[in-house]
Structure 1
Amino acid sequence: MPTWATGSSPGRLRLPPPLQPAVTGYIHRPRALAAGTKPGPFAGARQRAFTLVELMVAIAIVGLVIAVTVPGSMRFYESIQYRQSVRDVLSALGGARQQAMDTGRAQDVLFRPREGSVEYAGETLLLPDDFTLAVTTASEVNQGAAGVIRFYPEGGSTGGDIDITAPGGRGVRIAVDWLMGGVTQVRHEQP
């Protein structure tokens, strides 16, 4: 675009110097794109796919990770079930003792080892199928095949032992004191 020279007559036009090429030599021309492709940052680069060997190695690694984590997660799940079952039984026993002292009436907790169930206050707790439940209670208060621990208003109980064992042999013995009605737990291993 022409510009007016300053300090000279307004009719005189000064032209810019002639344009010269900035780069001389090789001029990059874009390659023709194949049908259905889009230009991008790697438009000229050769695209690679995964080989069958690479895919097989990746699948083998995923398989190894799954093989290692699944058994561990199953043990973790079993451990959670075991701890929750023990907590629920302890809660039922403690609740029955407290209820007996609050209401002034005896409260019974029924244990059915064959079904793996614990009953108290109209609610039934079912242990997982592969857990074992063994009960030692006073025969005077038992109801058929169900072992019963009775809590009295003054805080005592008929006493007894409840053994809960997980499939791996890990277990706990919950002991109910007959004199004071206290509930304690001791860890034990199944022989």
Structure 2
Amino acid sequence: MSPKDSQRKRAFTLVELLLVLLIAGMFFGLILPQGVRYYERYRGALEAEKLLLFLSEKRREAFLAGRDFEVYSENGTLYLSDRSSYFPKEGSIELKRNFYFLATGTTDGGEVKYHYKGYTYVIEIEAPLAEFRMRIE
């Protein structure tokens, strides 16, 4: 075998390279959209958890301050009667109805929906002891 023949056998042919590119393209074409959807769902859940922590903190603050806080929403932003607000970076917030965190550490209960890129995260605040639950619709 001449040195020229051994060099030819070590290299990939154009067909082999194109086949690898085709397989890689199909792989990324199928996997990448799923990955983006999972990432968007994760980002939405992360923001919904921040909202849940904000609400939990405000419930505690109402108890410690000995004041009732009304929770309401306008134009996709969550507001409390103590003039604090929660404005998500992306998405919007809606309430079924206004509810209260009472000075006694209890609540009349409510439901907060956070909408983010096609996903809806629901935070349920159960009366009377303000137990928080989050789910995705």
TM-score (normalizing by structure 1): 0.55
Which consecutive unaligned segments of at least 5 residues does structure 2 have?
A: none
With over 3 angstroms needed to count, the CA separation of the structure-2 counterparts of 1:188 and 1:79, relative to structure 1, is: closer
1:68 to 30, 33, 37: 30
Q: Following the alignment from structure 1 to structure 2, what is the Cα–Cα distance between the partners of residues 101 and 157?
A: 10
Contact 2:79 2:85 in 1 (8 A): yes
Contact 1:133 1:165 in 2 (8 A): yes
With over 3 angstroms needed to count, the CA separation of the structure-2 counterparts of 1:162 and 1:123, relative to structure 1, is: closer
Matches within 5 A, 1:60-139: 60-112=22-74, 114-115=75-76, 117-119=77-79, 122=84, 124-126=86-88, 128-129=90-91, 133-138=93-98
Q: 3-state SS of the aligned residue for 1:161?
A: strand
Check if 1:164 corresponds to 2:114: yes
Question: CA offset at residue 171 of structure 1?
Answer: 3.7
Between 1 and 2, higher relative CO (CA 8 Å, sep ≥ 6) is seen in: 2
Question: CA offset at residue 80 of structure 1?
Answer: 0.8
Question: CA offset at residue 66 of structure 1?
Answer: 1.0
Aligned residues: 132
Structure-1 residue corresponding to 2:125: 176
Computed over aligned residues only, the root mean square deviation of the Cα atoms, in angstroms, reads: 3.1
Q: Following the alignment from structure 2 to structure 1, what is the Cα–Cα distance between the partners of residues 100 and 53?
A: 15
Structure-2 residue corresponding to 1:155: 105
With over 3 angstroms needed to count, the CA separation of the structure-2 counterparts of 1:104 and 1:128, relative to structure 1, is: same
Residue identity matched to 1:161: E
Residue identity matched to 1:51: T
TM-score (normalizing by structure 2): 0.72
The alignment-based identity, stated in percent, is 23
Q: Following the alignment from structure 2 to structure 1, what is the Cα–Cα distance between the partners of residues 6 and 136?
A: 66
Residue identity matched to 1:176: I
